[in-house]
């Protein structure tokens, strides 16, 4: 059995019971998207594959801040799969530089492999699957409101504020404005940018329909204004 197969097996054990949208189906989509983005690029395919499979095994939302800091699960899985120390270091460096809250702090991948895996992960947060995953996550957290027409998104969240549980603005629809609609401006590869544009349009079509069906003209205007904004430099 190859290193990649062994790692996939261990990841399935860690994430197989997840019901928040961060489970094995998500990991497999990120894995296949990353390999597709890797085609024709000057990047190590195996490192991309390993990082894609392992990118969520220490996610703070699932395993807590301590695991997210130490990357204990990723380390243990790679050691058990016989991944050499040099490649382990490359994979861990990619994971340390991935994620939306880290992007808010200006922490981004610097290697070709890291940019590819980061784009693959962010692509799975948007588009049709992104809508489904966001709703699944909202419903998995029973305290989360799907939408409140009187609670507007907070567009200037810091990384710490974004991660803080129980925010008043934290609901399914507001999540589009607070994160998902900003992702296309965070892509790091040309292929990723093109696919993000397509998925972005799908999300805005959904939101316009959601607001129009409820006669929410103020939210329609808000979405239009949001779409006309210039991305942060």
According to the model, what pLDDT value does residue 59 have? 86
117 occurs within a structural domain: no
- The pTM assigned to this predicted structure is 0.91
119 occurs within a structural domain: no
The rounded radius of gyration (Å) of the Cα atoms in the chain is 18
Does residue 155 share a domain with residue 209? yes
According to the model, what pLDDT value does residue 23 have? 77
Average confidence score pLDDT of the chain: 92
Does residue 165 share a domain with residue 86? no
Q: What is the distance between the alpha carbons of residues 62 and 213, in angstroms, rounded to a whole number?
A: 35
Question: Does the structure show a pLDDT above 80 at 20?
Answer: no
Tens-digit pLDDT profile for residues 142-188: 656 789 999 999 999 998 888 787 788 889 999 999 999 999 999 99
Does residue 129 share a domain with residue 80? no
Choose between 139 and 187: higher pLDDT: 187
According to the model, what pLDDT value does residue 35 have? 97
Does residue 108 share a domain with residue 2? yes
Q: Express as a percent the part of the chain with pLDDT over 70.
A: 95
- For 87, what's the count of Cα atoms within 13 Å in the CB-facing half-sphere? 18
Does residue 132 share a domain with residue 208? yes
Nearest one of 85, 88, 128, 109 to 34, comparing CA atoms: 109
CATH of residue 60: 1.10.472.50
Contact status, residue 85 vs residue 126, Cβ threshold 8 Å: no
Question: Does the structure show a pLDDT above 70 at 25?
Answer: yes
2 occurs within a structural domain: yes
The whole-number average pLDDT for the span 196-225 is 98
Nearest one of 131, 154, 121 to 201, comparing CA atoms: 131
According to the model, what pLDDT value does residue 167 have? 83
Domain, as residue range, for 226: 125-233
Domain edge (last residue) among 88, 112, 136: 112
CATH of residue 136: 1.20.58.1910
According to the model, what pLDDT value does residue 21 have? 67
106 occurs within a structural domain: yes
203 occurs within a structural domain: yes
Q: Express as a percent the part of the chain with pLDDT over 90.
A: 73
Does residue 148 share a domain with residue 232? yes
Residues 6+ apart with CB under 8 A from 155: 177, 178, 226
41 occurs within a structural domain: yes
Instruction: Please report how the helices 112-123 and 85-96 are oriented relative to each other, as an axis angle in degrees rounded to 10.
Output: 50
According to the model, what pLDDT value does residue 233 have? 43
Query: Count of CB atoms within 10 A of residue 129's CB?
Result: 16
Q: What does the DSSP 8-state code read for residue 171?
A: B
Does residue 142 share a domain with residue 200? yes
Does residue 229 share a domain with residue 133? yes
Tens-digit pLDDT profile for residues 33-76: 999 999 999 999 999 999 999 999 998 877 888 888 999 999 99
Does residue 176 share a domain with residue 83? no
Does residue 137 share a domain with residue 76? no
Choose between 125 and 64: higher pLDDT: 125
Nearest one of 183, 145, 163, 133 to 65, comparing CA atoms: 163
Does residue 49 share a domain with residue 15? yes
Domain edge (last residue) among 50, 79, 112: 112
According to the model, what pLDDT value does residue 89 have? 97
According to the model, what pLDDT value does residue 230 have? 62
Domain edge (last residue) among 112, 135, 169: 112
118 occurs within a structural domain: no
According to the model, what pLDDT value does residue 60 have? 82
Q: 3-class DSSP state for residue 145?
A: strand
* b/e map 100-126, b = 16+ CB within 10 Å: bbebbeeeebebbbbbbbbbbbbbbbb
Question: Does the structure show a pLDDT above 50 at 96?
Answer: yes
179 occurs within a structural domain: yes
| Integer CA distances (angstroms), 24 to 14, 159, 165, in order | 9, 26, 24
Domain total in the chain: 2
């Amino acid at each position: 059995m190859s290193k990649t197969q062994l790692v996939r097996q261990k990841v399935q054990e860690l994430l197989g019971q997840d019901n928040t949208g961060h489970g094995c189906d998500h990991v497999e989509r990120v894995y296949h998207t990353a390999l597709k983005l890797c085609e024709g690029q000057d990047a190590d395919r195996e490192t991309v594959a390993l990082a894609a499979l392992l990118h969520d095994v220490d996610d703070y939302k699932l395993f807590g801040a301590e695991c997210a800091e130490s990357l204990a699960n990723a380390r243990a899985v790679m050691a058990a799969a016989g991944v050499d120390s040099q490649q382990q270091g490359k994979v861990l460096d990619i994971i340390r530089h991935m994620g939306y809250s880290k992007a808010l702090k200006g922490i981004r991948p610097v290697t070709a492999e890291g940019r590819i895996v980061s784009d693959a992960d962010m692509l799975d947060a948007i588009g049709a699957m992104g809508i489904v995953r966001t709703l699944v996550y909202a419903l998995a957290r029973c305290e989360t409101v799907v939408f409140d027409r009187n609670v507007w998104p907070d567009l200037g969240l810091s990384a710490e504020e974004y991660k803080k549980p129980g925010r008043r603005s934290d609901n399914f629809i507001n999540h589009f404005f607070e994160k998902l609609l900003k992702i296309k401006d965070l892509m790091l590869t040309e292929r990723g940018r093109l696919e993000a544009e397509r998925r972005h349009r799908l999300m805005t079509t959904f939101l316009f329909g959601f607001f129009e069906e409820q006669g929410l003209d103020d939210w329609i205007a808000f979405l239009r204004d949001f779409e006309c904004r210039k991305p942060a430099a």
